[in-house]
Each structure stands twice: as C-alpha cells, then as structure tokens.
Amino acid sequence: MGHSRPRYNQKGRMAQRETRKRKRVGGEGDDDDSNALVIDEQERKKRRQEVIRLDVQASTGESEAAHAGTSTRLAPRGVADIVFLVPTRQLLAAGAAQAQDAAPKMSSKKKKRLDAFIDRKLKKEQRKDLIASLACSTTALFVKRSAQPFNPSGSLGVVAAAEAAPVASTSSATSTSSAKANVAPAVGSALAAGATVTIVKRKPKQLLAASGVDAEPVRLEQDADDGSYKPLLPAGSGFKNKPDPEGVTGPLGAPLPQSELPTLPPQRTVHIAVQRTPEIEASRAELPVVKEEDRVMATILGHSVTVLCGETGSGKTTQVGQFLWEAGFGDPSSDNPGMVAITQPRRVAALSTSARVRAELGLAEDSPLVAHRIRYSSTTSADTKLVFMTDGVLLRELASDFLLTKYSVVVVDEAHERGVNTDVLIGVLSRVAKLRETQWRAGKEGAKPLRLVIMSATLRVADFAENPTLFAKPPPVLHITARQHPVTMHFARHTQHDYLAQAYKKVARIHARLPPGGVLVFCTGQNEIVSLVKRLEKKFGPRAIAERKERVRRAAAARASGASFSRGKPDGDDVQLDRALDAKLTGRGIDMEEDTDEPMHVLPLYSLLPTERQMQVFQEPPAGHRLVVVATNVAETAITIPNIKYVVDTGRAKERKYDHASGIQSFEVDWISKASAAQRAGRAGRTGPGHCYRLYSSAVYEQHFDQFAKPEILRMPIEGIVLTMKSMNIDAVANFPFPTPPDRAALRRAEKTLVHLGALEPSEADSRVGGKITPLGRSMAAFPLSPRFAKMIVAGQQHGCLPYVVAIVCALSVGDPFIREANLGDEDDVASPADDESAALSRAEIAHIRDPDLKAKEERKLARKAFFQVQQRYAALGKGTSDVFKMLSVVGAYEYDGGRDAFCEANFVRVKAMQEIHKLRAQISRLVSSTFPGLDAGFVPKLPPPNETQQIKVLRQLLTAAFIDQVAIRKDIADKSSNTSFAKLASTRGVPYRAFGIEEDLYIHPSSNLFHGPPPEFIVYNELHRTTKVWLKTITKVNPAWLPVLGRSLCTFSKPVETPSQALAAKAASSAGQAAGDVRQIFVVPRFGPGTGIELKPVQMTQVLVNGRWILQ
C-alpha cells in the first residue's frame, strides 16, 4: 500500500510540545540560573524531605474537608501548581499516623520536577545573600574612600571601628542594632548627600565545613579590634583570607595588581574653577575622556608615569591639559606650581591645539596663560601655566635644563607615530622623572616630582609600558574608548596602479550620488595633491559649475530660437570641446557621467603649505558647497578636520628610507600600515556614521600591509640625536633606554661621522662608551641644526663670511626652495634650456590657440623657458662651482625685494620655504649673538653678494669641511684599471662617480648647476637619492689639495719625500756640524679615504721632533 503520509504539521506540533515541556520543568525567569552557585546534593535531599513532610502534615490536618472527593494541595501554592496533587482519600485510609511516617511514592518525572523547584529556591536564596554582601562591601568602600582620601599603607578596604567591624547593609535592621548604627557619615562622603545606609553589627556565624554535612560546625573567631586594616571577606565564605603577597586587596578580597597601586603620596591640589559656555560644555560632555576624568586624574596623581591609550576622537589631546589645569597644576598656590608641557610632533598641531584649549578655557586669544612654543614662534611668559610645543623644542631645552625644573607635568602626545624626537624624549624623561622623584623624597629644597604622561592613539603601547629598560616597573595603562560612530569599509575589487585617477573617480561619484558631507582624500605628496586639486576644481569648482550652467542656458536658448549649432560658432565650439574633454577622460577610465550642479570647495593640506592656508580646512565651507580636503598623512592623527563623512584612502604614503651602511636616501611610495589605515578610516566617524573607500583590495590589505609602521629612528640618520645626547653628558648612547633601540652599526656610523667633523674625540676600539664630546662639538650642539650645518656656523667666522654661512645653512635646512616642473625629475632625457627657448611661443601667440590641449602644452613650454632663465640667473654666482650658491643668490634676492609673495611666484620658489628660511635666519642669528658674545651675525635685510675672490673660496672650503666624509670621485680617477677617460667631456650626463662605502655608480642629478659643464674630478654632495639610478644632489666642486687639511682624520701619509734641495741642505748642515732643529718642513704623499684610499698630489707639511720621533703637526 505504500508509506503512510505524516500527519499535517507533525514536526511543528512536536516542537511546540517540547517547548511547553521545558517551560513546565524549568519555570519562568530562571534563564540566568547557570551563573548561580552549585547546589549541594545533601542540601537538596534535605529540602526535599522537608517539603514532603510538610505536605503530609497538611494532608492530615485537612482530612475533614476531603469528604466531598476533592483533592487537597499538599504543598504551598507555588509548589502545588507545578509539582503534583496527592489524593487525600488514600491518606485518610492509611491513617494519620501512617501518613506522617510514610512518604508518598513519586515517579522519576515528578521527582525531577520537585528537585528543579528546590534548586530554584536555593539559588534565589544564594543570590539574595550575594547581592546583600556586595552592597555591604561597596558601601563600606564608599565610606572608606570618601572619609580617607589616602591610606599611607597604600591599602584599599575598611578600617575597623572601635568595638566591632560594622558592615553596611541595605536590609532592614532590628531596633537594637539600628540604634547603634546611627553613625553620621564622614565629611565629604557621598553618603552625606542623602543616601540611607544602615550599619549592622553581625553576629558570629556557624558555617559548615567544606567536608560535608556531618562535620562539626566551625565558629569564626572575632579578632581583637585594634584599629588596624582588616580586609573584607568574600560573601558566603567561612574562612579568613589568605595573606596577599602585596598586602592589598580589593573590595571583595581579590588582590590588586601592583601597577594599579599609587606610588606617589598625595599632594595638596587646588581646584581651579573654569567658566565655559553652554556650547563648549555640551561638546565636552560628549567626549569619552571627559567621562573618565576621575580615573585619569587619580592615576596621574598617584603615579610618576602614566600611559594613556585613547583612540582618535576620544578628546585626549585637548582635554588632558584642561584636567591638569583644573586640578591646580601650574598654579603657584598648589604643590605642583610648575608649568604643564604638552608636546606635539608637528607645528600645525601645536598651534591649533593651543588655540582650541584657550577658547575652551574661556581665555582671550592673546592670553599668555595658554601658550605655544615652536621653532620660530613663542608666546610663553612668566604667567604661563599650559604650553604646547613641538617635541624637538623640549628636547633642546633638556640640553640646558636637564631636570626641567620649570615643569611639573610633561604630556607626550602622538607617541604612536614613533618619531625620533619623541622616542629620545621619552627615554630622557623616564630618567628625569625618576631623578626628580628621588630628590623630592629625599627632602631636597625646592624639589618637586615630575609626572610623565604618554598618550597614544593606537594600542601600540607595549614598547613603552612593557619595556624594562625604559621603566623598571610597568606604568599603569588606561584605555579610553573613542567617540566613534560606525564607519562602513568599502574595499576595491581590484587594486589599480593609477590610484590618483581612481581617487578622482571616487570623489566624483561621492559628490554626485551620496548625501552631503565632507570628503577627505589621502595622497602621498605635494605634487599629487596639487594635481588632484586642479582636476577637481576644473570639473566641480564654482567657476566650472557657473560656466557649465551658462553654456547649458545658452544652448537651451539657442534651441528654443531654432538656431543651428555649426562648427565655427563660439557656443558650438565650447560645447564640443567640453564633450571632447569628457570623452577623453572617459577613455582614461574616468566616469564623467557623474555630473552635478553642486560646487566643491576643494582645499589642499600638506606640511609645506603656508599656515594661513592650512587653517582654512577648519573653517566652514561656503553655503551650498561640499568640502573636499586632499591631504597627506598630516591629517591622519595630528589634526581633526570637522564634518568629514567620507574618506578616500589610496593606501599609500611617501616615506624616506635611509640605508645606514651607505647613506643612500630614497623617497619611496609604499603601502601604509594597518594601524594607519584604521586611523584614516576613523576620520569618517567623528560626527556621525561615515564611509571609508579603500582603493585597494582586501587581499592586498591582508598580505602587504604591516601591522605597524617602522619607527622613524630606524629610517633616518641619527648623528644629530647622538650629538644632542652627548651634550647632555650621556656618553654611553648604546645603553640609552630607547623604546626601539637603533642598530648598533648605525650608532657606530653616527659616532664615526661626528669624529670626522671634530665633534667627538676618537674612542678606543673596545670602548663601550664612545668618544667624549669636544669643545667644538659642544658649541655645535647649541644650534638646532644638523651637525654638518652647525660646524659651518661655528667655523664660518673668518673673512666676514658668517652672514652668508647663516643664509646657506638655513636654505639647506629647509630644503631646496625652487619649484620643480613635472618633467624636471630624475629622468635622463631632460630637454636643454636652449631647446625650450627655441620651441616656446610667446604669450600673444598662445592666446590665439583654441585647442585647449595644445594651448596647455604651449603654456608649459613657456613656463619651462622662464624657469630655465631664472635658474641660469641665480646659478651665475660662483661661476657654477656649487649648487648651494644658487640658493644663496635667491635668498639674498628675496630679502632685497622685501619678502613679497609676488617675488616667489615670478622666480619659481615656494612661498612657505622662503618664509621659513627668513625666520630660521633670524633665529640662528640671535643664537650666534648669544653663543658668541660680541660677534655680529650680520642679519641685514639687504645682504650684498659675496666677492668672487676670497669669500666664495672660503664658502666652498666650509662646505667641503662639513661634508668631508661625503666625497665623490670621478670613476676614471678612482679606478686606475679603467682605460676610459671622462676629462674631456662637455657634460656630466652619464659620467659615473664613486664614493667610499658605496659599491654602485653615482651620477650628478640633472637639476645641478654642474650637470651641463665638464665633469669635475672631486665633489662633495649633500644627499644621495635613489630612483632609476643613485643621484648626487646639492653638489660642490672640491680642490683635491684641500682634502689633506680639512679631512685629516680620513687621510694617511707616506714617509717624507726628500726633494733635491732638501738633500743638499741636509748634506751641507751635516758637513758644517750643525744640529738639526726640532721642527722641519717636509713633503708627503697623502692617501684620502678608508683602506688604501685615493692617492693625492704631494703636499708640504710640518714635522715636530717629540721624544726622538718626528710627528706630523
């Protein structure tokens, strides 16, 4: 007959029956019973027998009411509803006596239901006891903390009262106990505000031993009340706490970690009242760090070092300083009268943060109470309490005031960026804080402890908190969650090589399709930012939108009038050219269908941008405009741009990589780290839910992105850091507590360079301390410059060259001020200036060109022509012997012109670079006057050019002495086995050079003044850059006769070479019986460089007779 069909919805009915069954067995409201304590089987059995006995007694007592044949409940109402019903007729028939002795027989199912009911009752009783004990402990701890803000023993708990240890309870008490419990709460306690707490003196308990029910009851002995600290016992425990190894327990008796205990005794603080506007109060209330103010300040007050880990958006940068302000730090009436220093890695962050904090504290814009100190500007005064500065400024202050006596707290912000100055500053401050605390504990007059707060925006704090060489005792780490709205991540399906075009396409789509909100685009450098900003403004700028609307209006009017658009008419040409441009861009992979009438407010943001233009990103965009900021990683963590809802992340960054072995630097565009990607994405969730569009695939993100970026100390030269530490009398730099120590080879190379510059004494081969600093090195350390540039300042006081040396050093420190065209890069096929001059058209001719592409091409040619003319004009100084003289010439011309921006535009130089050179020149001139009293640095607005005979030669020698270990030699001279000669070539194009310690061929960069001239034999270079080749940049021609004198430490000398005249003179003196003097003039053959070196021409030197041996002077 076949299989029978299942009943309709049989499976669903079975599921419903199982659900009802579980409800009957388990009851309601017991979902959390799994978290209760385990029920003892003996206790369950005992309770079961009591319930059955009560049921039997109740059945016997109600026998008269059972004649009607009804059933009587044998348990309380709640039990009978869910357990069972017993027929009373059976019990009556058995008799009352038998009913009391005989328990009713139950099935296993009914027995389980009874056990479940008993378990629930027992667990509820246990929960009630646990809640009561927790309330007791919490209330007692509240009283303890309020009445006694600090316990000298460092303990947390309750100090016993006079006769017994009263315990706070929320339950009601008897009249006798409540009479004893009317104790007034301590002054300042939270209980004085109206909370009702009953103090109950509990009686000693009799608790069962852990072995079982049959064990003898154990009675707790009541300790004698001597007023000592007695930790609370855990709820339900009948045994005393085991002695804690640290001697400190928490509210429930659990031991506290040693790192959470205060290490500094309490100090008197003064609360400073701050009147803020309601708007500021409302905005501060939303910051996560404000909600943790008590915890943050308690940790800072109790510890000398605190690590605060708060994600971007938590408000730590602007609020921690205000916490310290309100706590009295910096106030003369408190125990911490020193200033509060907050360091930032960037100047723009120090300026913007100081202005924001000043506004939130309700101070005037020019108030000196909150000041800033950066490289060229300082607003501090004697009344300053809070100062924001760059980490380099504070590091230089340590050289003159190692104990930082003017400060009570130093807050190191953005420590996760791992800059060189930040790492060294944390290492030095770890020792300064310990030394200040030791002096303060010893009672030294005027000594105050220094508190160090390290703030990081990522979870990468192990290098600080878990570094035993940095902090012997791990400091407490506080984690502050960010005020972060959800950010949706969008990965690209495929990672495109042309990420700039993809960024343009993504911004265009966001602007056309998505709701209003700011867009933040991350690029790698200035050139990419300028290029993308121009393209966006050309398509979506206010002028482009207005022109497009006008064309559409004219086209609509013409169609309405019936006019035809033939080729040759202006309106028709405009429309066709616009369509042709769209078609061309679409062919490049850019979707130009994304069109909108809403204009963009496009702003660039990078470090070389003038400060006024940088601050524009914080201002509200014009009404009806969408804000689009195209920035480098300066917008990643240093500053917060308001109203950003969309982030376009290219996933790349341009980083300087440095090879410590060869000294070759390279600026490479590489993938960022995962931590940086998270920081970038977080910028979209500051004001509301946002979106982050990553222009790379998730596979690339997982496989090619490191977790964290490498610290900067591993990616740049460290000669300046070593010299600064030596000036602080830190001789053993290798033993310094770096958060991430540099390579030992890099340290040895840095010390060797300083020895060649004369800043350090030569050290022994097996010395671990290294060479000691020389008087020349101590003078060099007084200037905030590279050691090479500092040596030029110290040694450039002859022949009136100091004003020119200061100008050269400032230009080299800031960088090449000239703007570079896109095709004046690192390629070999750069067109010559003559070719550009002959091919370029005049502006009048260009104005008549109607093709936009051709017109733009001719305009670029005209700009190149003007660029080369400017280069040739400024390169004339020194007759092409050094690239540095071109910078000196343009600096002098800029100062002579009055420092106008129009000069910079006409001469292809960057405005901000020239402004920084001017400011640095004024600062270095003041330092020279203060370091060398009576010496005029020659800071005059109109600096005359140096003379070609004496001063130019001296400047070249100073440059050679500063870069004496960076000498490049033409390959045909360095390699004697080569048969090729480059001496008669007219240009250095393709001419290789060799340098010591580098096994590759080096080439003069096409932008050099020496590129189009005959190749010199010896040159010194400032930088080595690797692209397609290794390029020599910022070159100076060297006379090889200077090398034995200026680079004595790099030279070896042969035995004296006797000339015929010297031989005749020595023979005549010996025949006459005359004794030889103690000093003589000889000729020797020097060899320059390590190893065998390069043989130079013989030079005349002086020898002195010392203990029977002739020694070169």
Q: Give residue-wise pLDDT tens across range 592-602.
A: 445 677 899 99
pLDDT at residue 446, as a whole number:
84
Residue 635 pLDDT more than 70?
Answer: yes
Residue 823 pLDDT more than 60?
Answer: no
Confidence of residue 234 (pLDDT cuts 50, 70, 90): very low
Report how far residue 453's alpha carbon sits from residue 469's, in angstroms, rounded to the nearest whole number: 18
- What is residue 994's three-state secondary structure? strand
Q: Give residue-wise pLDDT tens across range 837-847.
A: 445 566 666 76
Residue 638 pLDDT more than 70?
Answer: no
pLDDT at residue 952, as a whole number:
92
Confidence of residue 57 (pLDDT cuts 50, 70, 90): low
Choose between 769 and 29: higher pLDDT.
Answer: 769
pLDDT at residue 452, as a whole number:
95
pLDDT at residue 809, as a whole number:
93
Residue 219 pLDDT more than 80?
Answer: no
Q: Give residue-wise pLDDT tens across range 166-209.
A: 333 333 333 443 333 344 443 333 333 344 343 444 444 443 33
Choose between 201 and 157: higher pLDDT.
Answer: 201
- Burial code of 73-108, b = ≥16 C-beta within 10 A, e = fewer? bbbeeebbeebbebebeebbeeeeeebeeeebebee
Confidence of residue 8 (pLDDT cuts 50, 70, 90): low
Mean pLDDT of 521-529: 91
Tokens linked to 1028: 């397609």
Report how far residue 556's alpha carbon sits from residue 544's, in angstroms, rounded to the nearest whole number: 18
Least confident of 413-427, 678-692, 747-761, 930-944: 930-944
Residue 568 pLDDT more than 50?
Answer: no
- Percent of the chain at pLDDT > 70 equals 72
Alpha-helical (H) ranges within 876-950 are 884-897, 901-906, 911-931
What is the residue whose two structure tokens read 């195209």? 630
Residue 20 pLDDT more than 50?
Answer: yes
pLDDT at residue 1019, as a whole number:
94
pLDDT at residue 346, as a whole number:
85
Give the number of other Cβ atoms within 10 Å of residue 692's Cβ: 22
Mean pLDDT of 275-292: 90
Residue type, 989: R
Q: Give residue-wise pLDDT tens across range 361-402.
A: 999 988 999 999 987 788 999 999 999 999 989 988 988 888
Instruction: Enumerate residues 6+ apart whose C-beta is below 8 A from 445.
Output: none
Tokens linked to 62: 């109600």
Mean pLDDT of 85-98: 41
pLDDT at residue 483, as a whole number:
67
In 3D space, the residue among 791, 816, 784 whose CA is nearest the CA of residue 924 turns out to be: 784
Residue type, 530: V
CA 355, 358, 363, 365: dihedral to nearest 10 degrees? -10
Residue 1006 pLDDT more than 80?
Answer: yes
pLDDT at residue 602, as a whole number:
94
The top-scoring range by mean pLDDT among 255-259, 270-274, 479-483 is 270-274
Residue 222 pLDDT more than 70?
Answer: no
Mean pLDDT of 950-969: 92
Report how far residue 643's alpha carbon sits from residue 163's, in angstroms, rounded to the nearest whole number: 63
Q: Give residue-wise pLDDT tens across range 1044-1072.
A: 989 888 888 888 887 766 666 666 665 65
Tokens linked to 788: 């090479």
Confidence of residue 74 (pLDDT cuts 50, 70, 90): very low
pLDDT at residue 37, as a whole number:
52
pLDDT at residue 1040, as a whole number:
92
Least confident of 235-249, 394-408, 980-994: 235-249
Instruction: Note whether 994 and 975 are within 8 A (CB).
Output: yes
Q: Give residue-wise pLDDT tens across range 452-465.
A: 999 987 767 777 88
Mean pLDDT of the chain: 76
pLDDT at residue 356, as a whole number:
92
- Which stretch of DSSP H or E encloses residue 642? none
Mean pLDDT of 17-31: 54
Q: Give residue-wise pLDDT tens across range 745-787.
A: 888 888 989 999 999 988 775 566 678 899 999 999 888 889 9
Choose between 218 and 1089: higher pLDDT.
Answer: 1089
Which residues partner with 1030 through β-bridges?
1002, 1026
Instruction: Give whole-number Cα distances, 480 to 353, 753, 970, 1079, in Å.
Output: 20, 44, 59, 74
**pTM of the prediction?**
0.66
Instruction: Note whether 600 and 609 are within 8 A (CB).
Output: no
